[in-house]
Structure 1
Amino acid sequence: MLHEVNFLSYNKRDQVQGWIYVPAARPKGIVQIIHGFGEHSRRYLHMIVKFMDAGYIVAADDHVGHGKTAMVSGVWGDWGDAGFHTMMEDEHSLKKLVCEKYPNLPYFIFGHSMGSFIARDYAAKYGEDLAGVTICGTTGVFRGADKAAELLKKAIDDGLGMDSNPEFTGALMGWMCERCDDVTIGNEWICSDPYVQRDHAEDPFDAFTKPTSNRSLYDFTQMMLAIEGTQWAERVPKDLPFYNIGGDQDPVGEYGKGIYEVSNWLCDTGHDVKTRVYSGYRHEIHNYSEIKNDVEEGIIAFMDGILGI
């Protein structure tokens, strides 16, 4: 069964477009997939089907400025003026909608890349409502985020918030192909498979190749800075388990260093966290044909283990 849903964003401007995928069997839990920067939730169809086959209802939406939400609103690359918690609050709105339809089931979230930042922000505010969190392709201290934030804040103060300046995007993310050979698209850091690169770049629902407003890029930096260190981890409920996964050739995770930074922040504050780093793989470990089944099975095992299955 598939429910197509929509709801008013926290930014009070957009109608967020979402989907609830229900297996044709008695569900044992719910998992909400939170997609990353510049993409959309249907890039996770393989994972969605895998989770459904394992007995989980799957919920997902397209963030403001992204995917079908942007197609409906006509606004690409701008997230509104409500601040960096906007997407996190939208994910909470989706969870409430899902739980109205399917109450009293254990609830998990999976977040990839920016989605993992949102998931970590979510866990710090609403973690008591969750059974477990998987973060994939996450960041520790993101290189250059603080300096880019200063430049972006000045531009916003100068009245340029709705402009899009490639210089700022370059300052924040222009270094991310530094370990990639034959860079032609600019997204080679996501995966070494050229087909995945082309699919990502040519997808009409992707916002990756569309400009992001200065104010939204600033919100992106604030999202990252808000989930740094033990000061973030201390706000997460102690009994909420985490599964932290990524590739050791992912620049977002600073080639493994950032992944372990996050796990150590959680361990240092008394949390239960399991970490798995895939050697030789870039950002989208779930889009490599040779390991995606293993990645998904690991997430399912994490969730099943919490449920005692």
Structure 2
Amino acid sequence: MLHEVSFQSFNERDKVMGWIYVPAAKPKGIVQVVHGFGEHSRRYLHMIVAFMDAGYIVAADDHVGHGKTALENDTWGNWGNKGFHTMMEDEHKLYELVTEKYPKLPYYMFGHSMGSFIVRDYIAKYGSELAGVTICGTTGTFRHAKETKELLEQAISDGKGGDADAEYAGRLMGWMCERCDDVTIGNEWICSDPYVQRDHAEDPFDAFTRPTNNRAVLYFIQMMEEIKGTEWAEKVPTDLPIYNIGGDQDPVGEYGKGIYEVSNWLCDTGHNVKTKVYSGYRHEIHNYSEIKVEVEQGIIAFMDEN
């Protein structure tokens, strides 16, 4: 069974589009899938089906400025002007909507890339509501974030928040193909499989190739800055199980260094965190044909155990 749902965004402007996928079996829990920067939730259909087959209800939405939400509101690359917590608060609204329909089930979250940033922001405020979280393709200290943030703050102060100047995103992320050979699209850092690269680049619901405005890029950096260090980790409930996964050739996680940086922040503050790094794989470990089933089964085992 599939429910299509919508709700008012925290930004007070957009109608967020979401979906609740219900297996034809007695559910043992709920998992909310939180997608990354520039993409949309239907890129996770293989994972969604795997979770359903394992007995989980799956909830997912398209963030403001992304996917069907951007299409419905005509706001590609524009996240509104209510601050960097907008997507996190929208995920909580989806949580409330789902738990009203399906109460008293253990509730988990999976977030990839920016989705993992959103989940990390979420658990600092709402972590006590969850039975466990998986963060995938996350970041520790992101290269060039500090100096790009300063430039964006000046641009927005100069009245250019609504502009989409590619130089800022380029300064922040333009280095990310540095370990990739034969770069032709610019997204090769996500996965070494050229079919995954092409699917990502040509997806009409994928906003990655559309300009993101300056204010949204600033929010993106502010989101990363909010979830750094033991200062962030101390806000997360210590009894919340956390599964931290990624590839050691992923530039977002600084080739494994950032993944362990996050786990160490959590361990240093008394948290129960399990870390798994897949050697030889880039950003989207869940989209490599040879390991995606293993990745999904690892997440399912983590949820089943908690």
Partner SS for 2:243: strand
Tell me the distance in 2 between the aligned counterparts of 1:75 and 1:227. Answer: 26
Paired with 2:268 and 2:6, the residues of 1 have a C-alpha distance of 39
Rounded to whole Å, the distance in 2 between the matches of 1:216 and 1:182 is 30
SS of 2:239 mapped into structure 1: coil
Provide the secondary structure at the position in 1 that maps to 2:65.
coil
Partner of 1:274: 274
Q: Give CA-to-partner distance per residue, 1:241-296, whole Å, 9 cap, x none.
A: 10000000000000000000000000000000000000000000000000000000
Residue 209 of structure 1: how far off its partner (Å): 0.1
1:44-78 deviation per Cα after TM superposition (whole angstroms, max 9, x unaligned): 00000000000000000000000000010011001
Alignment partner, residue 98 of structure 2: 98
Residue in 2 aligned with 1:253?
Answer: 253
Q: Secondary structure at the match of 2:265?
A: helix
In the other structure, the counterpart of 1:180 is 180
Q: Write the distance in 2 (CA, Å) between the matches of 1:122 and 1:166.
A: 29
Distance in 2 between residues matched to 1:285 and 1:113, nearest whole Å: 11
Tell me, what secondary structure is at the counterpart of 1:177? coil
| 1:69-94 deviation digits (Å, cap 9, x = unpaired) | 00100110010000000000000000
Counterpart of 1:169, as a letter, is: A
Q: Provide the rounded CA distance (Å) in 2 between the counterparts of 1:175 and 1:84.
A: 24
Q: Which residue of 2 aligns with 1:207?
A: 207
Equivalent-residue separation in structure 2 for 1:243 and 1:96 (angstroms):
23
Q: Quick one: distance in 2 between partners of 1:82 and 1:134?
A: 27
Partner residue of 2:169? 169
**For residue 290 of structure 2, what is the aligned residue in structure 1?**
290
The one-letter amino acid of 1:265's match is W
List per-residue Cα deviations over 1:5-41 (Å, max 9, x = no partner).
0000000110000000000000000000000000000
Query: Residues 119-140 of structure 1, C-alpha deviation per residue, up to 9 Å, x if partnerless?
Result: 0000000000000010000000
With the length of structure 2 as denominator, give the TM-score of the two structures: 1.00
**Which AA in structure 2 matches 1:184?**
T
CA separation in 2, counterparts of 1:53 and 1:175? 39
Q: Which runs of 4+ in 1 moved over 2 A?
A: none
Which sections of structure 1, spanning at least 5 residues, go unmatched?
A: none
What CA distance in whole angstroms lies between the structure 2 residues aligned with 1:218 and 1:228? 16
Structure 2: gaps (5+ residues): none
Return the alpha-carbon distance in structure 2 between the equivalents of residues 274 and 202 of structure 1: 35
Opposite residue 274 of structure 1, the aligned amino acid is K
- What percentage of aligned pairs have identical amino acids? 78
Deviation, 1:166, is 1.0
Q: Quote the Cα distance in structure 2 between the aligned partners of 1:2 and 1:169.
A: 36
Structure 1: which amino acid aligns with 2:53? D
The Cα offsets for residues 215-245 of structure 1, whole Å up to 9 and x where unpaired, read as 0000000000000000000000010010000
- Residue aligning to 2:60: 60
TM-score by length of 1: 0.99
Partner of 2:241: 241
Q: Which residue of 1 aligns with 2:50?
A: 50
Give the AA of the match of 1:272.
N
- What secondary structure sits across from 1:208 in the alignment? helix
Partners of 2:29 and 2:17 in 1: CA distance: 22
**Alignment deviations for residues 150-176 of structure 1 (CA, whole Å, 9 cap, x no partner):** 000000000000001111011100000
Report the number of matched residues: 306
For residues 82-121 of structure 1, what are the structure 2 equivalents within 5 Å?
82-121=82-121
Q: Name the structure 2 match of 1:229.
A: 229
